Amino acid sequence: MLNTTDHVFRKLCRHYGAALTFTEMASSSMIASGSTQAARYAAISRQEHPVGIQLFVDNMARLEEAIEEINPLQPDVIDINAGCPSDKVCSHGAGAALLANLPELQEIIKAVKRYSHAPVSVKVRVADRHSRIPVRDIARAVEDAGASFLTVHARTRYDRYEEPARWEWIAEAVRAVNIPVIGNGDVFTSDDARRMMRETGCHAVMVARGALGTPWIFAGKEDALLDASAVRSILLQLVRELDACYGPIVALPRASKHVAWFTRFFEGAEQLRVDVFRCRSMPALISTVNRYFDTNPARLDPGSEELKAVEDAFHRRILFWAEMDTEDVVG
């Protein structure tokens, strides 16, 4: 996830038990051009393996150059993004647009394998409503091109998060191929993850939105087990590490989003979100967060209409931020 799954957040997810993490999505052409922004998206540290670099290929002619820049980082896997629904990414023939051009996707897989010794994986959405290619054909094309595993996000390019993920499409992909299939979509609790594996037969589960504000999902713990004091400690450590790692210009907008995500289960969080997004410095943000938690906010009642409304707003906001974030990822 752009502007989210940076080194600091990946470290937190690994702390709670994530078996494999991925970098933010980076453009192959921007990496080949030496973009410092793309380099930040793809950066990994020696301490965080296993980790994969997530790549979307927007210029085949410069793919070899991009992989040459990536190889010294020694990623454990290079993941080709064929699932991003952003119009800007798809306008370059990348992301979910590749679902309408499986021969092109196969050429990308083969080229990355040719230029790198790292295993290659692919993340897809399910079909393009115009091409109507079955998920089994997408999965077989990925397998035939030599990918080591496939991640299926069980929505189409045109589906929004308000529409439930179709887990049966993950099961269809599992039945179609012999490589491991990773399931993704609408996993917000550890029970969701177990149910997805049971119902689809997938080999593992990728958690995305479900880890935002609740990275302890990887430990099998539910958010209701953590009180305001525990959330405060985890959140402030994350915020301070973002500042130390990236500096205030990069860290402030990222930290502001994490504050909104981590506190959404508590009373008064909506006003906190407004206050935090008005902050113009990291010290101001930290002071604002501390003042909020000093009030010892109560948790919203599980199953309440208020909490449901909060979660619905959270999902809509994630979609909005995702669209905004892709504006600066394409060269």
Mean pLDDT of 36-55: 90
Q: State the angle between helix axes of 135-144 and 167-176 in degrees (0 to 180), rounded to the nearest 10.
A: 40
- Per DSSP, the three-state class of 76 is coil
Instruction: Please report the pLDDT score of residue 221 as a whole number.
Output: 66
Instruction: Please report the pLDDT score of residue 312 as a whole number.
Output: 74
Q: What percent of the chain has a predicted confidence (pLDDT) above 70?
A: 91
Residue 166 is encoded by which pair of tokens? 């179709």
Is residue 130 very low, low, confident or very high in pLDDT (cuts 50, 70, 90)? low
Q: Evaluate whether 263 touches 272 at the Cβ level (below 8 Å).
A: yes
| C-alpha–C-alpha distance, residues 33 and 331, integer Å | 9
Tell me the per-residue pLDDT of 274-314, one tens digit each, with 9 for 90 and over.
999 999 999 999 999 999 999 999 988 877 888 778 777 77
Q: Evaluate whether 272 touches 264 at the Cβ level (below 8 Å).
A: no
Instruction: Please report the pLDDT score of residue 37 as a whole number.
Output: 86
CATH topology classification for 19-206: TIM Barrel (3.20.20)
Instruction: Please report the pLDDT score of residue 179 as a whole number.
Output: 99
CB atoms within 10 A of CB 41: 24
Tell me the per-residue pLDDT of 49-66, one tens digit each, with 9 for 90 and over.
999 999 999 999 999 999
Mean pLDDT of 98-118: 96
pLDDT at 323 over 60: no
Backbone angles phi and psi of 189, in degrees to 5: -140, 165
| C-alpha–C-alpha distance, residues 266 and 307, integer Å | 9
Instruction: Please report the pLDDT score of residue 314 as a whole number.
Output: 74
Read off the pTM: 0.90
Instruction: Please report the pLDDT score of residue 272 as a whole number.
Output: 96
The amino acid at residue 162 is: E
Q: Evaluate whether 105 touches 133 at the Cβ level (below 8 Å).
A: no
Q: Evaluate whether 134 touches 99 at the Cβ level (below 8 Å).
A: no
Q: What percent of the chain has a predicted confidence (pLDDT) above 90?
A: 70
Is residue 128 very low, low, confident or very high in pLDDT (cuts 50, 70, 90)? low
Q: What Rg do the C-alpha atoms of the chain give, in angstroms?
A: 20
Mean pLDDT of 234-262: 96
Instruction: Please report the pLDDT score of residue 46 as a whole number.
Output: 84
Average pLDDT, the chain: 90
| C-alpha–C-alpha distance, residues 206 and 211, integer Å | 10
- Would you name the residues annotated as active-site residues? 84
The residues, any chain, with a CB within 8 Å of residue 270's CB and separated by 6 or more, are: 310
Instruction: Please report the pLDDT score of residue 327 as a whole number.
Output: 45
- For strands 120-124 and 77-82, give the pairing: parallel
Q: How far apart are the first and last CA of the chain?
A: 18
Range in 85-89, 123-127, 318-322 with the lowest mean pLDDT: 318-322
pLDDT at 164 over 90: no
Instruction: Please report the pLDDT score of residue 316 as a whole number.
Output: 66
pLDDT at 2 over 80: no
Q: What is the largest CA-CA distance in the chain?
A: 58
Is residue 324 very low, low, confident or very high in pLDDT (cuts 50, 70, 90)? very low
Residue 193 is encoded by which pair of tokens? 């993850």
The residues, any chain, with a CB within 8 Å of residue 215's CB and separated by 6 or more, are: 9, 12, 13, 15, 16, 18, 234
pLDDT at 326 over 50: no
Instruction: Please report the pLDDT score of residue 319 as a whole number.
Output: 55
Tell me the per-residue pLDDT of 136-145, one tens digit each, with 9 for 90 and over.
999 999 999 9
45 vs 170, residue with greater confidence: 170
CB atoms within 10 A of CB 280: 9
pLDDT at 231 over 60: yes
Nearest to 234, CA basis, from 13, 5, 18: 13
pLDDT at 216 over 70: yes
Most confident of 120-134, 223-237, 313-327: 223-237
Q: Where are the domains of the chain?
A: 19-206, 223-320
CB atoms within 10 A of CB 132: 8
Instruction: Please report the pLDDT score of residue 317 as a whole number.
Output: 66
Q: Evaluate whether 169 touches 126 at the Cβ level (below 8 Å).
A: yes
Mean pLDDT of 115-129: 89
| C-alpha–C-alpha distance, residues 251 and 310, integer Å | 25
The residues, any chain, with a CB within 8 Å of residue 143's CB and separated by 6 or more, are: 150, 177, 178, 179
| C-alpha–C-alpha distance, residues 272 and 283, integer Å | 15
Residue 258 is encoded by which pair of tokens? 């994490």
